[in-house]
Chains A and B, each alone.
Chain A
């Protein structure tokens, strides 16, 4: 069998596996599937979180499974396993049906392709200082996020295949159009994302310098026809000295060569390759400087401290905000698995560092009392895998008390029984704690027409409120609810406490 045929089988297998994991990251199907496997095997996630947290979380040891083949064969991940790379390859195959001459020109190496190394440098420096930003462009995180927030809801709209109650995601269109843009760029520059932007590709490119095998051209057989460039995915110059860091090991050149001059060779001659990425020291330093300044620029906004946003209510089990941002890779698996649709991708609510990180929007949903799925699927521990007992503060966790996401506050000017003498208390009805954190006081009021009216007015007991937000979700004052949960009083933070007693 031809080697490219074997590659195709691998591509179909891994792309299907990824789609399967995306689909089963859901309440009814999750069971024990290792849905985080792609992210856990992603060396960029492992290295970057190791830089920020000085530890390797749970399944991230799987990254060795990808690291070792890269050190042997080069960037095979990019064209054999990466679902995002496979998507770009597929789009190129479907739409780039140009004549060989144009294809050859499109697949020549360009200086632009070094950009990814500068992106990686800036992100790595930011990571050293405690801000994990690789998730913005890590292909697995980016693709999972695109599916969770945009593609699946779009598929569900006409079919109802994905959700019972349709899930809605704020900024779904931004994530969706970003996906379309990056995929569409293949028509301008083939494999645009992989060649130009991908920080994971850059990581593997750096690592591939150690690889023992690579594509090698036999100058004696070569007639300089350049046909090997016709289907070159990486633009890695197989027609001359191979740019090892750019080669995706797609093996297309092997089959395009009419003279059998190209082979995948063990320990080839070092003088016939460009071993390192095509980067200059000055530009690398400049990129590092961007990463260096990113931290003071973002943190001096006060978004994590004094000026923290009241809307940044994090999922149950989340670490305190600075620790959270050291771990969250914005993959949005938590958002995908959340059964109530309350988890939503942030834009600037959590500062520039928190783009696409999960926050709770109680208009969309609420935090289900007996649910801890978000922490179970989090691949990096930004949301800790807490148990139901721990979340509710029962059993051995009685001392600690329940996990509070924030606190609910009444806006009496908008509350029907308070402002308008109209019965309601849906908030009390749905409050899930026992005893309820929301309680009523029966009062008798005289209406403006002089009649007496028995009325139940709601109050909140802050000792019992866990900030789940179902009261806000069910409040009939739909545009700006009469009870709202804000982040103050959340368990994960000591400096956002406001009550002496909790």
Chain B
């Protein structure tokens, strides 16, 4: 055997032996669970003075005018959205229902807000939700897909790759939870747009409950502490602006509805930054329409108020009310 071949063969076997040994030692006893640092949702809120308007209520019949009036009472859209911003709009598109049934955010409301953001110079507008029913058909039948795309926004569907574990550190969401984080990753501003709906377990689904649509995983176990989980949402996310659309109010058989007779006109749109205050107002309105059903106050409003996550006494803040 030639020396060259001898060295080559010995060297090759030696390299494989050395490689396996190094590889095995590197992998040996690595931690079973990979506990890397988890991300959190940043705050999308802008700084407001206590003398600024915290909540603006608009009544009327023209939805677009009501949205515009409420936002303008808040100080105008330019106060919240800057030129070049990437904005995420989170409607409630939980169910595969036509908009008339009041189970989802009205497409006209979504459209009006997208237009406002465009006027403020937003660079990119994303509309995202992780519905209970099949996502594509929810966005399609609720009319939100069409309205959003016509107005120049982009729908982000809850593909598996859009989800990430985020650290919440709340009362019910104590640690981390898989969340629909994709659209928020590069967002500058976040706007929540929720309808007012009756709810079988927590009495009312409004701007706070809307954020349930960011949760993934076994989220149906949170009904075991429904008020606890909803009161975690203002801790979990601080949106730039919240719109509560109380024009087509689902008054019973909620949160799904299913009949036109379950829906009543509320003639109201509310804009604001404090979700607890907004929902406190929304619940008063819902009870009025329902004829005084349900408890005087809601468990999750009490909890969130007590945790300092908002102010359920909405009248104690600076607020405006206009008719258009």
User: How many Å lie between the Cα of A165 and that of B217 in the bound state?
Assistant: 12
Q: Please state if A165 and B134 are interface contacts (CB–CB under 8 Å).
A: yes
Q: Please state if B226 and A434 are interface contacts (CB–CB under 8 Å).
A: no
Report A104-152 residues with CB < 8 Å from chain B CB.
none
Q: Please state if A368 and B133 are interface contacts (CB–CB under 8 Å).
A: yes
* Complex interface bits, A307-344 against B, C-beta within 8 A gives 1, otherwise 0: 00000000000000000000000000000000110000
Collect the chain B residues with CB atoms within 8 Å of residue A166's CB.
Answer: 160
Q: Please state if A435 and B253 are interface contacts (CB–CB under 8 Å).
A: yes
| Interface status of A351 (Cβ within 8 A of chain B) | no
| Interface status of B132 (Cβ within 8 A of chain A) | yes
Q: Please state if B221 and A456 are interface contacts (CB–CB under 8 Å).
A: no
Contact flag A369-B96 (CB < 8 Å), given A160-B160, A160-B161, A425-B223: yes
Quick check: which of A35-43, A58-66, A470-478 contacts chain B, the rest being far away? A470-478
Q: Please state if B223 and A424 are interface contacts (CB–CB under 8 Å).
A: yes
Collect the chain B residues with CB atoms within 8 Å of residue A435's CB.
Answer: 253, 259
Collect the chain B residues with CB atoms within 8 Å of residue A416's CB.
Answer: 224
Collect the chain B residues with CB atoms within 8 Å of residue A160's CB.
Answer: 159-161
| Interface status of B167 (Cβ within 8 A of chain A) | no
Collect the chain A residues with CB atoms within 8 Å of residue B134's CB.
Answer: 27, 164-165, 339-340, 368
Report B21-67 residues with CB < 8 Å from chain A CB.
none
| Interface status of B200 (Cβ within 8 A of chain A) | yes
User: How many Å lie between the Cα of A340 and that of B96 in the bound state?
Assistant: 11
Which size bracket describes the interface of A in this complex? 20 to 34
* Residue of A with least CB distance to B161: A160
Determine which of A369, A422, A428, A431 lies in contact with B224 in the assembled complex, contact meaning CB atoms within 8 Å. A422
Report A15-33 residues with CB < 8 Å from chain B CB.
27-28
Collect the chain A residues with CB atoms within 8 Å of residue B96's CB.
Answer: 368-371
| Interface status of A260 (Cβ within 8 A of chain B) | no
Collect the chain B residues with CB atoms within 8 Å of residue A430's CB.
Answer: 132, 256
What is the CB-to-nearest-CB distance from A360 to chain B, in angstroms, rounded to a whole number? 15
Contact flag A165-B201 (CB < 8 Å), given A339-B134, A423-B225: no
User: How many Å lie between the Cα of A424 and that of B219 in the bound state?
Assistant: 12
| Interface status of A426 (Cβ within 8 A of chain B) | yes
Q: Please state if A27 and B141 are interface contacts (CB–CB under 8 Å).
A: no
What is the CB-to-nearest-CB distance from A412 to chain B, in angstroms, rounded to a whole number? 17
Q: Please state if A429 and B158 are interface contacts (CB–CB under 8 Å).
A: no
What is the CB-to-nearest-CB distance from B55 to chain A, in angstroms, rounded to a whole number? 28
Contact flag A476-B220 (CB < 8 Å), given A368-B133, A370-B96: yes
Determine which of B132, B199, B218 lies in contact with A476 in the assembled complex, contact meaning CB atoms within 8 Å. B218
| Interface status of B262 (Cβ within 8 A of chain A) | yes
* Complex interface bits, A250-291 against B, C-beta within 8 A gives 1, otherwise 0: 000000000000000000000000000000000000000000
Determine which of B135, B199, B259 lies in contact with A164 in the assembled complex, contact meaning CB atoms within 8 Å. B135
Q: Please state if B223 and A27 are interface contacts (CB–CB under 8 Å).
A: no
User: How many Å lie between the Cα of A259 and that of B238 in the bound state?
Assistant: 83
What is the CB-to-nearest-CB distance from A402 to chain B, in angstroms, rounded to a whole number? 12
User: How many Å lie between the Cα of A23 and that of B245 in the bound state?
Assistant: 38
Q: Please state if B253 and A429 are interface contacts (CB–CB under 8 Å).
A: no
Determine which of A370, A429, A436, A474 lies in contact with B97 in the assembled complex, contact meaning CB atoms within 8 Å. A370
Q: Please state if A436 and B256 are interface contacts (CB–CB under 8 Å).
A: yes
Q: Please state if A436 and B135 are interface contacts (CB–CB under 8 Å).
A: no
Interface of A is mostly: loop
Contact flag A27-B137 (CB < 8 Å), given A434-B256, A456-B201: yes
User: How many Å lie between the Cα of A456 and that of B226 in the bound state?
Assistant: 12
What is the CB-to-nearest-CB distance from B92 to chain A, in angstroms, rounded to a whole number? 14
Determine which of A370, A434, A474 lies in contact with B253 in the assembled complex, contact meaning CB atoms within 8 Å. A434
What is the CB-to-nearest-CB distance from A426 to chain B, in angstroms, rounded to a whole number? 5
User: How many Å lie between the Cα of A368 and that of B221 in the bound state?
Assistant: 22
Collect the chain A residues with CB atoms within 8 Å of residue B319's CB.
Answer: none
Q: Please state if B220 and A339 are interface contacts (CB–CB under 8 Å).
A: no
What is the CB-to-nearest-CB distance from B223 to chain A, in angstroms, rounded to a whole number? 5
Collect the chain A residues with CB atoms within 8 Å of residue B258's CB.
Answer: 369, 432-434, 436
| Interface status of B136 (Cβ within 8 A of chain A) | yes
Report A385-420 residues with CB < 8 Å from chain B CB.
416
| Interface status of B272 (Cβ within 8 A of chain A) | no
* Residue of A with least CB distance to B256: A432
* Residue of B with least CB distance to A160: B159
| Interface status of B257 (Cβ within 8 A of chain A) | yes
Q: Please state if B201 and A423 are interface contacts (CB–CB under 8 Å).
A: yes
Collect the chain A residues with CB atoms within 8 Å of residue B220's CB.
Answer: 426, 474-476
Collect the chain B residues with CB atoms within 8 Å of residue A433's CB.
Answer: 258
| Interface status of A100 (Cβ within 8 A of chain B) | no
* Residue of B with least CB distance to A435: B253
What is the CB-to-nearest-CB distance from A471 to chain B, in angstroms, rounded to a whole number? 11
User: How many Å lie between the Cα of A426 and that of B255 in the bound state?
Assistant: 11
Collect the chain B residues with CB atoms within 8 Å of residue A164's CB.
Answer: 134-136, 157-159
What is the CB-to-nearest-CB distance from B290 to chain A, in angstroms, rounded to a whole number? 15
Collect the chain A residues with CB atoms within 8 Å of residue B200's CB.
Answer: 425, 428-429, 436, 440, 456
User: How many Å lie between the Cα of A369 and that of B136 in the bound state?
Assistant: 15
* Residue of B with least CB distance to A423: B224
What is the CB-to-nearest-CB distance from B171 to chain A, in angstroms, rounded to a whole number? 16
Q: Please state if A368 and B137 are interface contacts (CB–CB under 8 Å).
A: yes
* Complex interface bits, A417-461 against B, C-beta within 8 A gives 1, otherwise 0: 000001111101111111110001000000000000000100000
From A165, A423, A429, A440, residue with most partner B Cβ within 10 Å: A429
Collect the chain A residues with CB atoms within 8 Å of residue B158's CB.
Answer: 164-165
Collect the chain B residues with CB atoms within 8 Å of residue A440's CB.
Answer: 200
Q: Please state if A434 and B218 are interface contacts (CB–CB under 8 Å).
A: no
Give 5 A-B pairs besides A165-B135, A371-B137, A426-B223 with Cβ atoms closer than 8 angstroms. A27-B136, A28-B136, A160-B159, A434-B259, A435-B253
Complex A-B: 14 CB contacts under 8 Å: A27-B136, A27-B140, A28-B136, A164-B135, A369-B258, A424-B223, A426-B220, A429-B199, A429-B200, A430-B132, A434-B253, A434-B259, A475-B220, A476-B220
Residues of B within 8 A of A (CB): 95-98, 132-137, 140-141, 157-161, 199-201, 218, 220-221, 223-226, 253, 255-259, 262
Q: Which 10 A-B pairs have the closest CB atoms?
A: A434-B258, A434-B259, A339-B134, A164-B157, A476-B221, A426-B220, A476-B220, A164-B135, A428-B200, A434-B253
